[in-house]
Structure 1
Amino acid sequence: MSRAARLLHLLERLRAHRRPLPGAQLAAQAGISLRTLYRDIATLREQGARIEGDPGVGYVLRPGFTLPPLMFSEEELEALVLGARWVASQSADPALAQAAQGVVNRIGSTLPETLRLAVETSGLFVPPRADPYPSAPWLPALRQAVRAEHAVWLDYLDEAGRTTRRRVWPFALAFFDQARLVAAWCELRQDFRHFRADRVRDLADTGERYPERRHLLIRRWSVQMGHARHMDAADRS
């Protein structure tokens, strides 16, 4: 393993833990001596990594350090480019598709010639869809509301063809093959609900932050969905 790759793996191991990791453990995992580990830690600190700790205490990486793009491996770059190409070609959200294409262009512009050529000619492509996605013009506004944790007013067409108006707290978007679903807390139903983006008839961002943080809503929703799946499996048994 090259030294650059070893430094990258050391950063990834530190990034995966919130508590200090003993130097001996880090050295053993990397197959290097403690002296070499201490030199690697010093090198990373010189490059701007906020690594706190000392020998005998352990080391922890504080938030705020961003890996430069050239430190991704060739396989990681292929995965990033392939994912961005999928979003650019498969998304019904033009703004998100444009952003994905921007990612592909930026990765290509920052790589050295040999690595850029290897990624661009990797042979990994995403074919265009034969059947277009249902129109979902509200996706950009919904993404922004999720990001800002804003409550929104929805005019929504249900399966029976009725349009209802309700205030919801959108906290997640799911990109399925045939639909885009919004997970939200519905103030009308006082429960979690899922809405198809292509059935939204009108949307107005209130500009007001909903009272519960997004990560807490996701946690409660995940628990409820897990319980519902468990009950459904029990009913079928």
Structure 2
Amino acid sequence: MRRADRLFQILQYLRGGRLTTAAQLAEKLEVTPRTIYRDVAHLIGSGVPIEGEAGVGYLMRDGYDLPPLMFTQEEIVALVSGARILQSWGGTRMAAAAQEALVKIDAVLPQEARPQVGQVNVHVMDGIAQHGHWRDYLDRFEAASEAKIRLRMGYADEVGQQTNRVVRPLGVWFWGKVWTAVGWCELRDGFRMFRLDRISALEELDRFRPLKGQTLKDFYELGAYRR
């Protein structure tokens, strides 16, 4: 989690004047209490009226709030529609994050704008609910591409032949009905695109360093994804 996101979360937990300890915040945000101490000190230094101290707890009195977010109607439609698409077609963690994002957007919108969120008439049919493993693999492949972690996976080609691959993940693509993962395949010594519904197993290995000729930029320059 980025620090900016963590600071925002701390403010949300402290709203309403509830005494919250650094240990409780650390558990919720999956960081150490020492990190919470530094973050709270930063917020106080920025002028946020947080009271308390380390070892006792912190609270923020009623009356302080973040400036309301201002979106146009078109922007609200875009945000809600995108979140609903991810809830139905994204990974498990993506879907949960999309739902949380909608809650946060609704919480910080001005009172007069909140009804617009529920009035967005863009709806999405759940097309992959029966294929739950897609969602898990989507989350894991996306996270591995961000963290630069090699993956070992079982994969079936279009005729059902099973192979074991070691892949350096580069990202995931959505084609309207199916997700594909792109990576440098060590078995084939080249770029490959893998349909997530054909992956039978996925295991994290070690970290890798991007090599010249094996990066996402190189993949785009080849134009293989357009074929």
Q: Same fold (TM over 0.5)?
A: yes
Which residue among 89, 108, 111 is the counterpart of 1:110? Answer: 108
Shift of 1:133: 6.2
Q: How does 1:9-88 map to 2 (within 5 A)?
A: 70-88=69-87
Cα separation, 1, equivalents of 2:127 and 2:163: 33
Cα separation, 1, equivalents of 2:211 and 2:68: 31
Cα distance change, pair 79–168 in 1 and its aligned pair in 2 (3 A): same
Mean alpha-carbon deviation: is it higher for 139-148 or for 189-198?
139-148
Where does residue 202 of structure 2 map in the other structure? 203
Amino acid at match of 1:85: R
Shift of 1:71: 3.9
Cα separation, 2, equivalents of 1:200 and 1:131: 15
Shift of 1:143: 1.7
Which ranges of structure 1 fall in alignment gaps of 5 or more residues?
Answer: 1-46, 48-67, 233-237
Tell me, yes or no, if the aligned pair for 2:84 and 2:124 is still in contact at 8 Å.
no
Cα distance change, pair 177–151 in 1 and its aligned pair in 2 (3 A): same
Q: TM-score, length-normalised on structure 1?
A: 0.59
Mean alpha-carbon deviation: is it higher for 123-132 or for 164-173?
123-132
CA deviations 1:154-199 (Å, max 9, x no partner) are: 1111123221112111111012222110000111111100001111
Determine helix, strand or coil for the equivalent of 2:181.
strand
Cα separation, 1, equivalents of 2:94 and 2:71: 23
Task: State the identity %.
Answer: 31
Cα separation, 1, equivalents of 2:74 and 2:211: 35
Determine helix, strand or coil for the equivalent of 1:70.
coil
CA deviations 1:117-154 (Å, max 9, x no partner) are: 12322x32213246756441422211211121111111
Where does residue 155 of structure 2 map in the other structure? 156
Cα separation, 2, equivalents of 1:80 and 1:97: 14
Determine helix, strand or coil for the equivalent of 1:85.
helix
Where does residue 171 of structure 2 map in the other structure? 172
Tell me, yes or no, if the aligned pair for 1:108 and 1:116 is still in contact at 8 Å.
yes
Which residue among 212, 216, 227 is the counterpart of 1:218? Answer: 216
Q: TM-score, length-normalised on structure 2?
A: 0.62
Which ranges of structure 2 fall in alignment gaps of 5 or more residues?
Answer: 1-45, 47-66
Where does residue 127 of structure 1 map in the other structure? 124
| Larger of the two Rg values belongs to structure | 1
Shift of 1:211: 1.8
Shift of 1:94: 2.1
Query: How many pairs does the alignment contain?
Result: 160
Give the alignment's Cα RMSD to 1 decimal.
2.8
CA deviations 1:86-121 (Å, max 9, x no partner) are: 111233x22211111111111001111111112322
Cα separation, 1, equivalents of 2:153 and 2:142: 14
Shift of 1:77: 2.5
Determine helix, strand or coil for the equivalent of 1:221.
helix
Where does residue 94 of structure 2 map in the other structure? 96
Cα separation, 1, equivalents of 2:137 and 2:176: 18
Where does residue 146 of structure 1 map in the other structure? 145
Cα distance change, pair 213–116 in 1 and its aligned pair in 2 (3 A): farther
Cα separation, 2, equivalents of 1:147 and 1:69: 31
Cα separation, 2, equivalents of 1:201 and 1:189: 19
Tell me, yes or no, if the aligned pair for 1:85 and 1:104 is still in contact at 8 Å.
no
